[in-house]
């Protein structure tokens, strides 16, 4: 089973002015078959963690390590990270005008699998995954995320999850902007992939980044971590999420329940 290990990670965001330290010593271990919820107030650095794992050029690691099964993730290109089995669903998925969703998915699958999927089985696979996620087949021919609603973008992230079959998935605010029906469809998609990956013998490890406890009613976490000031400040079981639901983040920020 895969293990993602983050040790004392410090990250600066590069701005027009001086670089600004956002992550201040993140420690986190996520193994296959585990779901970890990362919860924290707005601005605490949760997305910065996701971008850093993705290898975004604006986020500069100044110290610390990230390994996937002992391999140095920080030394890998973005493509190599995907091939190693790391998947990242961003809070704000990018639009890719002029590239159809079906071409994008096939290119991504080719990159991750090391060879182009056979066309006949691939089409079946995509259609089945789209049906599971209640995505209209016309979306195949539309440009990636262009003009998609918030909910459609999130469903497309989970479509990629289902097709790329990662070992470790980082889902940044996959619940944001979803109505209750879309939340259920997206959560079912994540749970379906969890079950399928376990059945295939390589159970996925999930880092579920969220501001709200709502999605945790659908996707049950094994561990809950509170993120504040650029690091994990407390860890516990699902009961920690219940406490946050009641009390917000006051105890961790001292300045209110977060915007």
**Which range touches ligand ADP (CB under 6 A), out of 37-45, 114-122, 180-188, 193-201?**
37-45
CA 241 to chain centre: 19
Member of 40, 55, 85, 189 binding ligand ADP (CB under 6 A) = 40
Q: How far is the CB of 48 from Mg ion (least distance, A)?
A: 8
- Point out the residue whose Cβ comes nearest to Mg ion: 47
Nearer to ligand ADP, 43 or 238 (CB): 43
Residue 15 in the binding site for ligand ADP (CB under 6 A): yes
Q: How far apart are CA 254 and CA 59, in angstroms?
A: 27
Per partner kind, with CB cut-offs from 5 to 8 A, the member of Mg ion, ligand ADP, none near residue 86 is: none
Q: How far is the CB of 56 from Mg ion (least distance, A)?
A: 13
Residue 32 in the binding site for ligand ADP (CB under 6 A): no
Q: How far is the CB of 38 from ligand ADP (least distance, A)?
A: 9
Member of 12, 44, 174, 210 binding ligand ADP (CB under 6 A) = 44
Closest C-alpha to 26, from 227, 251, 235? 227
Interface residues with ligand ADP (CB under 6 A)? 13, 15, 22, 40, 42-48, 58
């Amino acid at each position: 089973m895969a293990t993602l290990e983050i040790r004392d990670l410090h990250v600066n965001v590069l701005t027009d002015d001086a670089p600004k330290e956002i992550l201040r010593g993140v420690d986190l271990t996520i193994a296959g078959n585990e779901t970890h919820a990362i919860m924290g107030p707005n601005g605490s650095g949760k997305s910065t963690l996701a971008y850093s794992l993705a290898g975004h050029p604006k986020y500069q690691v100044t110290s610390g390590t990230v390994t996937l099964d002992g391999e140095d993730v920080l030394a890998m290109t973005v493509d190599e990270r995907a091939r190693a089995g790391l998947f990242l669903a961003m809070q704000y998925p990018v639009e890719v005008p002029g590239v159809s969703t079906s071409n994008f998915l096939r290119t991504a699958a080719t990159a991750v699998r090391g060879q182009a999927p056979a066309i006949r089985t691939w089409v079946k696979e995509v259609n089945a995954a789209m049906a599971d996620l209640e995505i209209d087949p016309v979306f195949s021919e539309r440009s990636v995320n262009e003009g998609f609603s918030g909910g459609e973008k999130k469903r497309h992230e989970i479509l990629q999850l289902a097709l790329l079959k990662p070992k470790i998935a980082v889902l940044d605010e996959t619940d944001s902007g979803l109505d209750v029906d879309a939340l259920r469809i997206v959560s079912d998609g994540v749970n379906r992939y969890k079950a399928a990956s376990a059945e295939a013998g390589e159970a996925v490890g999930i880092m579920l980044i969220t501001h709200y406890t709502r999605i945790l009613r659908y996707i049950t976490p094994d561990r809950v971590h509170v993120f504040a000031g650029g690091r994990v400040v407390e860890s516990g079981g699902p009961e920690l999420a219940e406490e946050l639901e009641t009390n917000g983040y006051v105890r961790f920020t001292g300045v209110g329940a977060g915007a």
